[in-house]
Copies of this chain bind each other. A is one copy, B any other.
Amino acid sequence: MSQVVLINPFEVRPGDEAAALAYWDRAAAHLRGAPGFVSTTLHRALRPDARFPLVNVAAWASAEAFQAAVGSPAFRALTGDEAARFPHHPALYAIVRT
């Protein structure tokens, strides 16, 4: 198991940004306490017409730790109803060039 990077681009409709930030804050508050959480950084596009107005980049101790955290019933209960409002494309990555 080696550290992985979660990158999660969010589609956010005009006018939905405050709700998307509140959604992210709730999810992040939960995940910060999960085993294997390392760090998280939320990026907001400078231009509101960006394809992905919000992008989260987070580090986790392992893919298994991340999957366990987001697969937990508590996390699903927290995010389930609103997840569809902000289509997002999470995937885990390794760093290949710096």
Instruction: Show the binding face of A for B, using Cβ within 8 Å.
Output: 4-5, 7, 9, 21, 24-25, 28, 39-47, 50-52, 55, 57, 63, 89, 91-98
Contacts and interface: CB of A to CB of B under 8 A. Distances in A.
A41 B98 contact: yes
Given A9-B9, A9-B52, A52-B9, A43 B98 contact: no
Number of copies of this chain in the oligomer?
Answer: 2
A38 to B, nearest CB: 12
A25 B97 contact: yes
Given A46-B4, A47-B91, A24 B55 contact: no
Contact of A43 (B7, B42, B44): B7
19 contacts: A5-B43, A7-B43, A7-B52, A7-B55, A7-B57, A9-B9, A9-B52, A28-B97, A40-B98, A42-B96, A43-B96, A44-B94, A44-B95, A45-B93, A46-B94, A47-B92, A51-B89, A51-B91, A57-B57
